[in-house]
């Protein structure tokens, strides 16, 4: 039986995300996809969903939904007050939802992005191989809007499954962004690199699904400009103004600014949970270390 959520309040910005569209970067299409894969994969794991099943990525909260039919759902990610029919519930824990129930999200008090997932995901048609909404590219539909209906297949699963508290992330800790050297690394002199790795930076208001602009110590490169080249996930661009920009999943595919390297994926996930004025620092690690850290992360969620 088909059920779904009717959107009563759409919040500031909420989008359907899965792991993004792959293979179209060569024609300028960004991958998009869930920004915080830690919260994303845990939501699917708690629901026994298939790896990469789509869900809502909600910036700050403020979303109100009315259920039609029943299912099991979970919220993960940013800390937010949530109620079902006015009764407070926990995040990182699965709940049954019944016909007519109203889920109401407050606003995040820690972290930025809340993930709302249902058993087996929303029944939404893929566009170019993914359900992910790419806001800038207008691909995969629009951000959530009032009166939208998000269909799901009615199903129930054992509820009250929970990610143990000590494994839940603390988004208020000082974030260390681990970086592998790459791209134009050689065009940054040793003293500039030292500045970069020994300063702390603040997240500016210019942060979105495309990237996070940071403010702090300015870094200079010997580079007079580069020929536009493809941009990898997590790339740290240093434009002429000298302040770093970390590029995330909705980044432009090609760009002409020098890059000192790239933040590793697991730390990009955490960066996406920071907010304006959060402090971050960069730390240089080797490519081998980076692989080991990321492998450890993905081992929990998939076989490889």
Partner 1 sequence: MRCFSVASVDSVIIYFGQDIGESVAKEVRESFYALKDAKLKYVIEIVPSYTSIMISYDYLKTSYKQICKDIDEVLNHAEEFSHDMTTRSISIPVYYGSEVGLDLEDLAKMKNLTVEEIISLHVKKEYFVYAIGFSPGFPYMGEVDEVLATPRLANPRAKVPKGSVGIADNQTAIYPQLSPGGWQILGRTPIDMFDTSYDGFSYLKVGDRVKFRPISKDEFIELGGEL
Name the site residues for partner 1 (rule: CB under 8 A): 22-29, 128, 136-139, 180-183, 227-235, 252-255, 261-262, 264-265, 287, 290-291, 294-295, 298, 304
Q: Please, what is the minimum distance in Å from the beta carbon of residue 28 to partner 1? A: 4
Q: Which residue lies nearer to partner 1 by CB, 277 or 289? A: 289
Cβ-based nearer residue to partner 1, 108 or 268: 268
Q: Which is nearer to partner 1, 189 or 289 (CB)?
A: 289
- Minimum CB–partner distance for residue 261 and partner 1 (Å): 8
- To partner 1, the closest distance from the beta carbon of 232 in angstroms equals 4
CB of 131 to partner 1, least distance (A): 16
Contact assessment for residue 182 and residue 253, using Cβ atoms and an 8 Å cutoff: no
Minimum CB–partner distance for residue 60 and partner 1 (Å): 24
Query: For residues 67 and 260, which CB has a smaller minimum distance to partner 1 in the complex?
Result: 260
- Say how many residues make up the chain: 304
- E-strand spans in the chain? 2-10, 13-17, 55-59, 63-68, 71-79, 82-84, 87-89, 94-97, 102-105, 110-118, 149-153, 175-181, 200-207, 211-215, 229-230, 235-237, 245-247, 254-255, 259-263, 279-285
Measured from the CB atom, the residue of 102 and 284 that comes closer to partner 1 is: 284
Q: For 240-258, give one letter per residue: b (16+ CB within 10 A) or e.
A: eeebbbbbbbbbeeebebb
């Amino acid at each position: 039986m088909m059920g779904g959520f009717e959107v009563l309040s759409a919040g500031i910005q909420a989008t359907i995300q899965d792991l993004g569209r792959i293979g179209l970067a060569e024609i300028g299409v960004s991958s998009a996809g869930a920004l915080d894969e830690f919260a994303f994969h845990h939501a699917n794991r708690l629901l026994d969903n298939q790896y990469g099943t789509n869900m809502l990525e909600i910036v700050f909260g403020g979303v109100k939904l009315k259920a039609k039919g029943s299912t099991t759902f979970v919220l993960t990610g940013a800390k937010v007050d949530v109620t079902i029919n006015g009764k407070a519930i926990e995040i990182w824990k699965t709940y049954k939802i019944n016909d007519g129930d109203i889920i109401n999200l407050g606003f995040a008090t820690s972290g930025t992005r809340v993930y709302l997932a249902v058993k087996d995901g929303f029944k939404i048609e893929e566009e170019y191989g993914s359900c992910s909404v790419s806001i800038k590219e207008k691909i995969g539909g629009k951000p959530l809007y009032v009166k939208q209906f998000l269909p799901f297949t009615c199903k129930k699963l054992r509820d009250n499954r929970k990610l143990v508290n000590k494994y839940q992330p603390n988004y208020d800790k000082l974030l260390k962004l681990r970086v592998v050297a790459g791209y134009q690394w050689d065009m940054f002199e040793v003293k500039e690199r030292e500045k970069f790795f020994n300063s702390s930076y603040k997240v500016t208001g210019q942060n979105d699904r495309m990237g996070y602009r940071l403010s702090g110590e300015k870094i200079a490169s010997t580079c007079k400009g580069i020929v536009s080249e493809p941009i990898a996930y997590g790339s740290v661009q240093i434009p002429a103004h000298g302040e770093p920009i970390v590029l995330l999943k909705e980044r432009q595919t090609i760009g002409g600014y020098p890059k000192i390297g790239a933040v590793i994926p697991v730390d990009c996930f955490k960066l996406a949970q920071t907010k304006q004025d959060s402090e971050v620092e960069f730390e240089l690690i080797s490519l081998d270390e980076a692989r080991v850290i990321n492998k450890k992360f993905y081992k929990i969620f998939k076989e490889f």
